[in-house]
Structure 1
Amino acid sequence: MVTGTAPHASRTSSDTPSTLDGSHTDVLVIGAGISGIGAAHRMRADFPDLEFVVLEAQDDRGGTWWTHRFPGVRSDSDLFTYGYRHKPWRGPAIASGDAILDYLDEVIDEDELAPHIHFHHRVTALEWSSEDNRWTARVTRTDTGRDLQISADFLWMCQGFYDHDTPHTPHWPGRQHFEGPVVHPQNWPADLDLTGNRVLVIGSGSTAATMVPALARTAEHVTMLQRSPSYWLPAPTVHELAALLEPLALPAEWTHEIMRRAYTQQLDWLADTSRTDPDSMHDFLIETIRPLLPADTDVATHFTPSYRPWQQRIAITPDGEFFAALREGATSVITDTITEFTREGVRVSSGEIVPADIVVTATGFDLAVFGNIGFTVDGEAVDFSTRVTWRGLMISGIPNMAFAFGYFRHSWTLRVDLVNDVVARIFHRMRDRGASVVTPALRPQDTDMPLLAWMPEENFNAGYVRRSQHMMFRQGDREPWTHMHEYSHDRTALPAADIDDGLQYR
């Protein structure tokens, strides 16, 4: 791909505390990650006459790609579908965090978005006034501690779906006795030296799949300790179709679209077959990795999950690098539960002590409902767990607010692009009707509609979903109050969505 800003180079804005204080804008975007930058692009492309401001709590752009700096950080989705529809991806399908930041920087530069993005601005409260028909954001500058406020006609929540500040770390007895460092990938120390150390990684999800081979390049040995196995898929860093297309010197837009369709078809097959024929998908995934494992591997114990395929994320390992590290003896896998930490490592339920000089808790994250920001509507606090979503991009009873939420199985950005299309249609409808407010509202036939879980466990049961169900918004049993469809459904349903059904304009 075309190289942009140097890896992790800061684009921190130089605005003073008075730049935004007391100002008003047409659209306020919260978050400058993949979703927020996509929303900002749409504002520039489709509504050049509207003013917009992007607020980011972190000290730079990129969201998860800025906050995660552990060794080997990379995508676990292909970049042809994770990248934006409008912006061709020009690199290998699996890319490093730095390459993704470069890509986002190109979008920021090409669309001249930098003046609209304000870092160090943490939104602490969002208040809607029906009298004024506007939102007021209470904001704290994280670099100065100064408080300010900004008002907006429309609120676009693009803050991501997990808590960037506090990663999920279980409580383990005796942790205080361990003599080495215990680090979470979300808070990786820049000066941590792994050379010659025995590293214990707790967890076997996407983060562990990413970092274990990278840690093994410098550590003496890396042990991955998992409570239960995950499904794995060795994926080529460069798709064979991309390799065939490269000598043809096609325009980047053509290659991007061809590869986007190829990966979408593959993802559709994985998701649909996992649902309709989970046994055959289970066999496919297990038999795909079996030849890559050391000959003496107990596949049933260490690589056979207890859930059906795609009830949790499949761990992607580019070119099978994780299995290569296993075969070389640089890494090993233990499947057991932790009884306690000791001075020299952790004791598992079998009684074995797993020795370690450094422990990495790749134990995931917790969801954050709209960035854990407090919402009020006309002075009344909003409890999102009692409200229902309109097509997974607005919330019942919340005026002039849209949000970006992507996919767990397909690439996140595929849905972000679709959501942006619907929001743009709603903006145009408001203009056509001379409306200043749009609010999702249950129809008369929805009065007794049951409120279902935001994510049914039979659909997707990752730990961060189970831990957070109680605080998430709900969905109904009928359109337009449903969410968590696959891309194969949304790519036709959302463009055809009736933006009058369930929405009130005034």
Structure 2
Amino acid sequence: MGFEGTRRSEEPDIDVAIIGAGLSGIGMAAHMQMLCPDRSYALFERRPQLGGTWDLFRYPGVRSDSDMHTLGFIFEPWKHEKSIADGPAILEYLNRIVDERRIRQHIRFETKVVSANWESAHAWWVITTEAADGQRSRTTARFLYLGSGYYDYDTPYDPAIPGREDFAGTIIHPQFWPEDVDYTGKRVVVIGSGATAVTIVPAMAQKAAHVTMLQRTPTWYAIRPARDAIANTLRKFLPEKLAYRITRFKNVFMQDMVFKRARNEPQKVKDFLTKKLQEALGPKYDPATFTPPYNPWEQRLCLVPDGDLFKAMQAGKADIVTDHIERIDAAGIQLKSGKRLDCDVIVTATGLALAMAGKIALGMDGQPVRMNERWYYKGCMYSNLPNLAQVFGYLNASWTLRADIDADFVCRLLNHMKTVGADSATPVLTDESALEADTPLDLSSGYIQRGLAIQPKNAKEMPWRLNQDYLFDRKYLKENPLDDGIMRFAKAAGAVPAKSGEVVERAE
């Protein structure tokens, strides 16, 4: 039903405030231009450049750990020969999209969102921002779209390792890589065994005297070519968009198949991954170093494009040590086994710290909103929280797959709100006791487990769920009605009756 015969006494500054100009934010802006061209929007980006993660991370070898045919957007083909792309190539892709689609003029750089408060009377968000010079400003927006990522940009996870203040060399966290560091000919220890460590080790090994990856527990590795031969062949014979669509479908299907096979038949996947490692390392393969105490996809698989880590090991430029740290001293790292790793540079690739909603102080009518008290709704909105959506990408597939379907869903929701004359859309949950809880992030990785306490609640069944199945989610969000009996559409409490025959036009 519509809300006819009323008009707003005032309108917000913009229709949609998009927080973050990384993959999620740029994707939403592009979707709005395609699906909601009559709506105004702005992207609020705290950094001086766009790109989010891909601008922040500057460590050696920084690259995607997903293929760019699924980490790229559904609407914009990935044109590079390499499917596993480095950071600069991803930034080039994003900058091209922003310029070709004239999104850049909507980005407010060096503008940090400090707080956002929902005002029920006006049915809008009051957003407080802080510029680089500390000046604060206020913007009102009908809808808040959080594309601010999932981790803390300011503070990574950096465990308190005893003795680090005694080290005579250089200690670096990958999240804040210094531009002037020179490790040529030096001995390097990289602490950690996740995707960042696996990327840094072979990249640093090209210049360093030697690089050791120090791990507490082994990791499951997936070796694949950096170039997608099928994608590159299809591009030669088919129109670009069709070739991209076919490759994207192929890779989505493969991601889904591998994940489900790992969950249903873990031993077969273990055997397959182990065989590939043995082939890559030959006599250097050591079961103790490469056999994790968990099944594949209980933590995210570490991608090793072209087996570069293992080539560095074969060449004697890198090795992996499995041990625990006793302490750091002036010359290196003392291990609990009694062994030592003397070094000149220590890289603490110890992981990320999760953050919700970009650490923005959210409120409703002046009362704080605690996200861990809300339930996910269709993987992108939250119980009893109006006009707000957030992108939290897939853990078992590419981040952008979720960003694409979330942006499409929110654009259709905005259009439906316009059709029925509503100012707000709220997923209403009246009785949460009827829901059966499930973990929102079903991986045992350290950064996931450390961040569970701040996560919203997750139910076993849709719609109150953040799901980890892209193929299901894409179909569900398309086919499940927007007006599903849960979403409540309403007019602002401050709306005033329109005079008979009056037509109110909105100034853009």
Q: Same fold per TM (> 0.5)?
A: yes
The alignment status of 1:367 with 2:349, answered yes or no, reads no
Q: Which has the higher mean CA deviation after the structures are superposed, 358-367 or 486-495?
A: 486-495
Structure 2 match to 1:202: 191
Amino acid of the residue matched to residue 318 of structure 1?
Answer: P
Percent of residue pairs identical = 38
Aligned partner of 2:434 in structure 1 is: 448
> Which amino acid in 1 is paired with 2:99?
D
User: Which of 157, 160, 169 in structure 2 is aligned with 1:168?
Assistant: 157
Q: Which of the two has higher C-alpha Rg? A: 2
Separation of aligned partners in 1, 2:437 and 2:454: 13
Normalising by structure 1, report the TM-score.
0.92
Matched-pair contact (CA < 8 Å) for 2:150–2:392: yes
How far did 1:471 drift? 1.2
Contact 2:371 2:454 in 1 (8 A): yes
Residues 118-133 of structure 1 aligned to structure 2 (within 5 Å)? 118-133=108-123
**1:381-460 maps to which residues of 2 (within 5 A)?**
381-443=368-430, 446-455=432-441, 459-460=442-443
| Contact 2:231/2:244 (<8 A) preserved | no
Amino acid in the other structure paired with 1:259: T
Once residues 459 and 249 of structure 2 are traced to their aligned partners in structure 1, the CA distance between those partners, rounded to angstroms, is: 31
Note the C-alpha offset of 1:119. 1.0
Partner SS for 1:124: strand
CA contact (8 A) 1:388 1:451 kept: no
Equivalent residue letter for 2:13: H
Between stretches 63-72 and 279-288, larger displacement belongs to: 279-288
Q: Which residue of 2 aligns with 1:262?
A: 250
2:265 to 263, 277, 285: 277
Tell whether the 8 Å contact from 2:395 to 2:468 is kept in structure 1 after alignment. no
CA contact (8 A) 2:35 2:412 kept: no
- Give the 3 Å change call, closer, same or farther, for CA 369–173 of structure 1 in structure 2: same
For residues 438 and 23 of structure 1, the distance between their equivalents in structure 2, rounded to whole angstroms, comes to: 16
Partner Cα distance (1:36, 1:375) in 2: 19
Alignment equivalent of 2:15, drawn from 21, 26, 35:
26
Q: CA deviation at 1:98?
A: 0.4
Aligned to 1:14: none
Q: State how far apart, in whole Å, the 2-side matches of 1:178 and 1:375 are.
A: 41
Per the alignment, residue 100 of structure 1 pairs with 90
Q: CA deviation at 1:497?
A: 2.2
Q: Secondary structure at the match of 2:351?
A: coil
Is 2:302 aligned against 1:318? no
Per the alignment, in what secondary structure is the counterpart of residue 27 of structure 1? strand
1:419: how far off?
0.9
Q: Residue 101 of structure 1: SS of its match in structure 2?
A: helix
- 1:245 and 1:472 mapped to 2: Cα distance? 41
Contact 1:23 1:149 in 2 (8 A): no
Within the alignment, does 1:297 sit opposite 2:285 as a pair? yes
Unaligned runs of 5+ in 1: 1-21
2:115 aligns to what SS in structure 1?
Answer: strand
Amino acid at match of 1:355: D
Aligned residues of 2:36 and 2:415 also touching (Cα < 8 A): no
Deviation at 1:453, TM superposition (A): 3.1
* Residue 44, structure 1, aligned to residue 27, structure 2: no
How far residue 96 of structure 1 moved from its aligned partner, in angstroms, is: 0.8
Out of 483, 486, 491, the position equivalent to 2:466 is 483
- Paired residue secondary structure (1:293): helix
Q: Report the count of equivalent residues.
A: 478
Deviations 1:199-232 (CA, angstroms, capped at 9, x unpaired): 1000011011111111000000000000111110
User: 1:451 deviation in Å?
Assistant: 4.0
Give the Cα separation in 1 of the matches to 2:149 and 2:419. Answer: 31
CA distance in 1 between counterparts of 2:322 and 2:147 reads 37
User: 2-side partners of 1:395 and 1:86: how far apart?
Assistant: 27
Calculate the aligned-residue CA RMSD, in Å: 1.4
Q: How does 1:173-188 map to 2 (within 5 A)?
A: 173-188=162-177
1:240 Cα deviation from its structure 2 partner: 2.6
Deviation at 1:173, TM superposition (A): 0.9
Residue 368 of structure 1, CA deviation: 0.5
CA distances 1:441-475 after superposition (whole Å, capped 9, x unpaired): 1155x5432444322xxx31111110011111111
* 1:32/1:243 CA distance change after superposition, 3 Å: closer
Q: Distance in 1 between matches of 2:12 and 2:364?
A: 20
The aligned counterpart of 1:334 is: 321
Query: Can you list the C-alpha shifts for 1:92-151, whole angstroms capped at 9, x where unaligned?
Result: 21111000001001110111011100111111111011011110111111x211111111
Mark the runs of 5 or more structure 2 residues left unpaired by the alignment: 1-10, 491-508
Q: Give 1:251 shift.
A: 1.8
3-state secondary structure, aligned to 2:434: coil
- Using the alignment, how far apart are the partners of 1:498 and 1:110 within structure 2? 33
Measure the CA separation in 2 of the matches of 1:119 and 1:23.
Answer: 21
Q: Is 2:241 aligned against 1:253? A: yes
Match of 2:129 in 1: 139
| 3-state DSSP of counterpart to 2:475 | helix
**Residue 243 of structure 1: how far off its partner (Å):** 4.2
Deviation at 1:187, TM superposition (A): 0.2
- 2:500 corresponds to: none
Q: Secondary structure at the match of 1:464?
A: helix
Contact map agreement 1:55 1:121 (CA 8 A) in 2: yes
What is the CA deviation profile of residues 247-268 of structure 1, one whole-angstrom value per residue up to 9, with x for unaligned ones? 43x2211221121122112111
Using the size of structure 2 for normalisation, the TM-score is: 0.92
Asked if structure 2 preserves the Cα contact closer than 8 Å seen for 1:201 and 1:359, the reply is yes
> Aligned pair in 2 of structure 1 residues 296, 85: CA closer, same or farther (>3 Å)?
closer
Higher RCO (CA < 8 A, seq sep 6+) = 2
2:249 maps to a residue whose letter is R
Q: 2: CA distance between counterparts of 1:136 and 1:411? A: 32
Q: Of 331, 338, 362, which aligns to 1:344?
A: 331
How big is each residue's C-alpha offset from its partner over 1:34-88, in whole Å with a ceiling of 9 and x where there is no partner? 0000000011111111110100111110000000001111111000111001101
What displacement does 1:357 show?
0.2
On the 8 A contact 1:200/1:223 being kept in 2, the answer is: yes
| Partner Cα distance (1:30, 1:314) in 2 | 29
Distance 1:26 1:245 in 2: 40
